[in-house]
């Protein structure tokens, strides 16, 4: 135990970090141990991680001193931010800065930053194809992460480009919904372009693959995905898995932006970015690379086989 390398994991009770903690604990001879960072060591999820063998440590990104303390003595850290908890790009950048500074202070040997593109490099604010949001962003939850890449400069960092979780059908209201015609449909503003998806739990497994091979990945950007599928292909897979017809309802991004739920405008711009730059976006998230990092990488069909009963049919 004492000679094992400690990986400190932000968001350990969540989707990305939780996948990494479990990947570390499921490989007892892998040479790593997991330090699960949470704001509440007494939550059910935190207790479950402790039971599985993780060291559970309290820290809060709103309290940079607690993060500094939580990173001390670790070999590496998995850094992720939580945009949908606060909807603030500025807060996301402040949180990334707190983690980068704590990693420097602790002299960590390998940092993984779970990031996304700063879409303003593709769609400058002057480009009116999509509205500018929150004053200076096109896709706030992407742009803030991409902008925050700079705060990790000088660290032994791997930039991990994640992508759309299929789990959004369970937790994020993106599953099949009954339309006015009484038929179930999934709705995306993607036309016939591909949605680059992944099982959320596979992100942490890929991160574990990166930690296991530092010489290959430090200083690099790596994009991952489980499958690149059109809305029609996703609807066909859902139809097969759920045993009832699920249609694909393609809407224009402008319609999606005006759906009115919190974050709809941000997500409408995100899907438009996926669609307008699909060759880049798919190319940056190579399936073979993801499978090499995580040989158990799930396809949409295999994810559905395990999760179909958890998808609410509204």
Residues that bind ligand NAP (CB under 6 A): 11, 13-17, 38-40, 43, 46, 60-62, 80-85, 141, 162-165, 168, 172
Minimum distance, C-beta of residue 14 to ligand NAP, in the bound complex (Å): 2
Q: Whose CB is nearest to ligand NAP?
A: 14
Task: Provide long-range contacts, Cβ within 8 A and 24+ apart, for 2-5.
Answer: 4/31, 4/32, 4/33, 5/31, 5/32, 5/33, 5/75, 5/76, 5/109
> Do the bridges between strand 5-9 and strand 194-198 make them parallel or antiparallel, or are there none, so unpaired?
unpaired
Using the minimum distance from each CB to ligand NAP, give the nearer residue, 2 or 261.
Answer: 261
Using the minimum distance from each CB to ligand NAP, give the nearer residue, 39 or 109.
Answer: 39
Specify the residue for token string 């709103």: 62
Using the minimum distance from each CB to ligand NAP, give the nearer residue, 110 or 141.
Answer: 141
Minimum distance, C-beta of residue 32 to ligand NAP, in the bound complex (Å): 19
Minimum distance, C-beta of residue 17 to ligand NAP, in the bound complex (Å): 6
Using the minimum distance from each CB to ligand NAP, give the nearer residue, 76 or 226.
Answer: 226
Using the minimum distance from each CB to ligand NAP, give the nearer residue, 7 or 46.
Answer: 46
The DSSP-derived string for 74-89 is: -SEEEE---HHHH--H
Minimum distance, C-beta of residue 300 to ligand NAP, in the bound complex (Å): 14
Given a contact cutoff of 8 angstroms between Cβ atoms, the answer to whether 13 and 82 are in contact is: no
Using the minimum distance from each CB to ligand NAP, give the nearer residue, 27 or 40.
Answer: 40
Minimum distance, C-beta of residue 164 to ligand NAP, in the bound complex (Å): 5
Nearest-10 crossing angle of helices 44-52, 15-25: 20
Specify the residue for token string 């004492």: 2
The residue among 96, 95, 108, 84 whose CA lies nearest residue 156 is 108
Residue 122: both structure tokens together: 């593709």
Minimum distance, C-beta of residue 20 to ligand NAP, in the bound complex (Å): 10
């Amino acid at each position: 135990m004492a000679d094992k390398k400690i990986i400190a994991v932000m968001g350990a009770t969540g989707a990305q970090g939780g996948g990494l903690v479990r990947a570390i604990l499921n490989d007892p001879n892998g040479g790593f141990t997991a330090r699960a960072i949470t704001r509440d060591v007494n939550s059910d999820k935190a207790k479950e991680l402790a039971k599985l063998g993780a060291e559970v440590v309290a820290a809060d990104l709103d309290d940079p001193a607690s993060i500094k303390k939580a990173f001390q003595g670790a070999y590496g850290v998995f850094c992720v931010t939580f945009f949908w908890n606060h909807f603030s790009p500025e807060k996301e950048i402040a949180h990334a800065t707190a983690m980068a500074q704590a990693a420097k202070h602790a002299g960590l040997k390998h940092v993984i930053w779970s990031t996304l593109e700063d879409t303003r490099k593709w769609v400058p604010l002057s480009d009116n194809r999509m509205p500018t949001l929150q004053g200076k962003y096109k896709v706030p939850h992407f742009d803030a992460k991409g902008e925050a890449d700079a705060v990790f400069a000088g660290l032994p960092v791997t930039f991990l480009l994640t992508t759309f979780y299929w789990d959004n059908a369970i937790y994020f209201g993106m599953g099949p919904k009954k339309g006015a015609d009484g038929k179930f449909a999934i709705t995306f503003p993607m036309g016939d372009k591909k949605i680059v998806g992944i099982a959320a739990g596979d992100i942490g497994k890929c991160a574990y693959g990166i930690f296991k091979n530092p010489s290959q990945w430090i200083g690099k950007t790596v994009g991952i995905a489980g499958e690149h599928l059109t809305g029609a292909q996703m609807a066909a897979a859902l139809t097969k898995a759920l045993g009832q017809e699920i249609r694909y309802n393609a809407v224009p991004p402008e319609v999606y932006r005006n759906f009115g739920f919190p974050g709809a405008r941000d997500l409408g711009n995100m899907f438009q970015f996926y669609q307008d730059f699909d060759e880049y976006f798919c190319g940056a998230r190579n399936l073979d690379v993801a499978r090499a990092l995580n040989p158990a990488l799930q396809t949409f069909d295999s994810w559905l086989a395990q999760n179909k009963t958890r998808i609410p049919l509204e």
